[in-house]
Amino acid sequence: MSELVLTSEPLNRILDGKDVSLQDAFEIFEKSEKDPRELFQTAQSLREQHKGKTVSFSKKVFFNLINLCKDTCSYCTYKAEPNESKLSLMSKNSVLELLTLAKKFNCVEALFVTGERPEQKYDEAKKWLKENGFSSTVEYLVYASEMAISKDLFPHTNAGNLTKSEMRELQKTNPSMGLMLENVSERLTQKGMPHHLASSKKPQNRLHVLQDAGELGIPMTTGLLIGIGETPIEVIESIFAIKNLNERFSNIQEIILQNFQPKLDTKMKNFPSAQENYFKIVVALTRIIMPKMNIQIPPNLSPNSYQSFLTIGINDWGGISPLTPDYVNPEFQWPEINNIEQHTNNAGFNLECRFPVYPEFFSFLNTQLKEKISYLKTEQGFVKEDYWR
């Protein structure tokens, strides 16, 4: 039995190890809107039970390989058009130069991000890829990942909806990959909604890719975008969709919960930021629905309050770069790692640098990746301090 004394029967059952139902979660959400304290206490109790006193992060370098994209999301500032100054087309030499610089900064992860299959929409992308010796963006990603691993950085690819064969090829060098589910709501894909012009964001398309990754045994990072017009039941259904996938394949290594922040150059520029209390309730709900999951929030998107999320169930800060900006949220700078460590320590936790893949997922890796990690990891599976400090 839990030492916490709660008035909520569903929360007491959760603390006793019982599963939470979708209806339970919705009732807990409704009650927590008025007073979230019991939910937060429960989430933190579960976090300490399953994750101890360690909070992790990944020291990364962000490769904005190509930010042309065949889709258009109403909130996205990452996507560029061919005539825009923010267009990024990284040459092989540029990738090599940034990899070399990343080693000097003791980065561990090479995050490779692209738009969704840009060559399908833009002749400029097709021409540029051909000039660099590639027929597709994925071919370039495979090359860049091989280059990263040869330089002792561990690639993590986030390139939208990949096919099963494409993921199988990237799996050779990528210890993990990422695909944000964002939300399972079909309503958000309708006309006038954020995902109307983004076919890759249709829930069934995303879920299909995540299922393929599960069948391949790839440790996957996924997550939700909070505050884009979803209803509470839609966000809860989205958490359960991830839970159901993980119960089938056990390969979801982490859930990112990202709070929406409006961008000045987007259609949703006047849409309000995600309300913090609502966002915190979603974070805590995710912990009680999936007690053993690694849960992170991006600290740069809550610059004045990120440390307060340590009291509601998170155990990871995600990727943080000392070298490159967050190209998806360029107006929000990464906090300095020293400051994050101080806040983490002040809250009673210890900060550990991890690989792009969490320690409990090393068994999913091929022999070559396991061997490469084995020389650099501590007994607990985190990165040795002299490698990342």
What digits encode the pLDDT tens for the residues 61-115? 999 999 999 999 999 999 999 999 999 999 999 999 999 999 999 999 999 999 9
Rounded-to-integer distance, Cα 124 and Cα 115, Å: 13
Dump strand ranges (E) for the chain.
54-66, 109-114, 154-158, 176-178, 220-226, 252-259, 295-296, 316-320, 350-353
Angle formed by the axes of helices 37-51 and 276-289, to 10°?
50
Task: Dig out the tokens for 110 from the structure.
Answer: 């090479």
Per-chain mean pLDDT for the chain: 96
What digits encode the pLDDT tens for the residues 264-316? 999 999 999 999 999 999 999 999 999 999 999 999 999 999 999 999 999 99
- Which band of pLDDT confidence, cut at 50, 70 and 90, is reported for residue 383? very high
- Measuring CA to CA, which residue among 125, 230, 114, 173 is closest to residue 368? 173
pLDDT higher at 10 or 205: 205
Rounded-to-integer distance, Cα 242 and Cα 42, Å: 21
Rounded-to-integer distance, Cα 248 and Cα 70, Å: 31
- pLDDT at residue 9, rounded to an integer: 87
pLDDT of 384 above 50: yes
Instruction: Find out if CATH 3.40.190.10 is the number for domain 45-388.
Output: no
Residue with tokens 């002040």: 346
Percent of the chain with pLDDT over 90: 96
B/e letters for 70-86, b = 16+ CB within 10 Å, e = fewer, are bbbbbbbbbbbeeeeee
- pLDDT at residue 264, rounded to an integer: 93
DSSP 104: H
Number of neighbours of residue 88 by Cβ within 10 angstroms: 18
Over range 26-51, report the average pLDDT: 96
> What is the value of pTM for the model shown?
0.96
Q: Where are the domains of the chain?
A: 9-41, 45-388
Over range 213-240, report the average pLDDT: 98
Element (H, E) at 15: helix 9-15
- pLDDT at residue 167, rounded to an integer: 98
pLDDT of 247 above 50: yes
| Phi, psi of 335, deg, nearest 5 | -65, 155
Over range 13-28, report the average pLDDT: 93
- pLDDT at residue 356, rounded to an integer: 98
Rounded-to-integer distance, Cα 348 and Cα 344, Å: 7
- Which band of pLDDT confidence, cut at 50, 70 and 90, is reported for residue 1? very low
pLDDT of 35 above 60: yes
DSSP-based three-state secondary structure for 248: helix
252: left (phi over 0), alpha (psi -120 to 50) or beta: beta
Rounded to the nearest angstrom, the gap between the alpha carbon of residue 136 and the centroid of all alpha carbons in its chain is: 24
- pLDDT at residue 8, rounded to an integer: 83
Rounded-to-integer distance, Cα 221 and Cα 254, Å: 5
Percent of the chain with pLDDT over 70: 99
pLDDT of 2 above 70: no
Q: What is the dihedral of CA 30, 201, 112, 372, to 10 degrees?
A: 70
Over range 124-148, report the average pLDDT: 96
Rounded-to-integer distance, Cα 374 and Cα 351, Å: 20
Instruction: Say which range, 3-17, 21-35, 319-333, has the weakest mean pLDDT.
Output: 3-17
What digits encode the pLDDT tens for the residues 140-155? 999 999 999 999 999 9
DSSP 197: B
Rounded-to-integer distance, Cα 182 and Cα 296, Å: 14
- Which band of pLDDT confidence, cut at 50, 70 and 90, is reported for residue 346? very high
- pLDDT at residue 6, rounded to an integer: 80
